[in-house]
Amino acid sequence: MGTFKKSKKVKNSGGKVHLRFTGKTLALLFEKRSTRTRCAFETAFGEEGGHPVFLSTQDIQLGVKESLEDTARVLGRMFTAIQFRGFKQSAVETLAKYSGIPVFNGLTDDYHPTQVLADIQTLEENFGDSWGKKLCFVGDGRNNVARSLMVICSKLGINFSVITPGSLNPDKVLLDKCKPFAEATGAKITVTSDLAEVKGADALYTDVWASMGEEAKKEERARLLKPFQVNQALMDKTGRKDCIFLHCLPAVKGEEVTKDVIDGPQSRAWDEAENRKHTIKAIMLAAINGTAD
């Protein structure tokens, strides 16, 4: 036996067993790799008595012999709900259109909505509330995580800054989409390449420099993003000793974040990973059972 001790912080049901997905089935469709998202959906659904079925696109007919529309029609007749992780945002929308059952977006090139629910839970666990807090995303400002953060922060009144080189700015279509939400909640949205923007931040967030599917851009990104690494000097630049560090994971330690920061006392990346499961369970309960309780 090793010396591993389960963290006391892990939130569990205190021994209570709930079986709110008994008799229900979940198709887990994956074009891209995953650890957290797959495990969160699979364990959250299975613990509640549901039957999750992992379907890698390496194994099923989709994309080889069968269209997405036809796959959606068939899954819709056999499953209670679908989770999709893949490349095109249009794919998740097509699945929803043709399956007729709830479809959860487990990450596309454009968005990572289930991730940012866990991020907000982590922020709220630390500060008691998220409204009016300042969250700075430092890195590839046009990636799926940065984009979903902008949407959720605008909707929840969280001041959100994207700190990124100009060539990686989020696109205007997304900014225009978020503007009315931000106006309604009072959230301030800032896009800048100035690292001094971290001053006063409650949380610094980063993500890999090259997302899945962008492997060919790795060197170019490293050149562009090296000055935007989250290290202790940048954490200190916030002027806040209680500033927390967030990362969706997986992380490339030594690139977008230094090991001392992600493994250090200000990091909440591991709570954030655990919170994927709790928030995913809540959205499945809301969509499938009509209640998040």
User: Which residues are designated catalytic?
Assistant: 85, 112, 115, 207, 248, 276
105 binds ligand NVA (CB under 6 A): no
211 binds ligand NVA (CB under 6 A): yes
Measured in residues, the chain has a length of: 293
Q: Which does 134 bind (CB under 5 to 8 A by kind): ligand CP, ligand NVA, none?
A: none
d(CA 138, CA 120): 17
* Strand duo 51-56 + 189-192: pairing: unpaired
Quote the Cα angle for 176-180-182, to 5°: 100
What binding mask, one character per residue, do residues 250-289 give for ligand CP by CB under 6 A, x or -?
x---------------------------------------
Residue number with CB closer to ligand CP (221 or 277) = 277
Q: Which of 79, 16, 14, 24 is nearest to 46 (CA)?
A: 24
What binding mask, one character per residue, do residues 233-272 give for ligand NVA by CB under 6 A, x or -?
---------------x------------------------
116 binds ligand NVA (CB under 6 A): no
34 binds ligand CP (CB under 6 A): yes
Q: Which of 182, 248, 251, 269 binds ligand CP (CB under 6 A)?
A: 248
Stretch of residues binding ligand NVA (CB under 6 A), selected from 83-91, 203-211, 230-238, 252-260: 203-211
Q: Which of 106, 102, 20, 116 is nearest to 56 (CA)?
A: 106
Q: How many residues bind ligand NVA (CB under 6 A)?
A: 10
Backbone angle region of 82, left / alpha / beta, with phi > 0 → left and psi within -120 to 50 → alpha: beta
Backbone angle region of 111, left / alpha / beta, with phi > 0 → left and psi within -120 to 50 → alpha: beta
Residue 159: strand pairing partners: 134
Q: Classify residue 37 by its DSSP letter.
A: H
d(CA 152, CA 167): 23
122 binds ligand NVA (CB under 6 A): no
110 binds ligand NVA (CB under 6 A): no
Chain residues that interact with ligand NVA, rule: CB under 6 A? 107, 112, 143-145, 207-208, 211-212, 248
Q: Which residues bind ligand CP (CB under 6 A)?
A: 34-37, 107, 115, 248-250
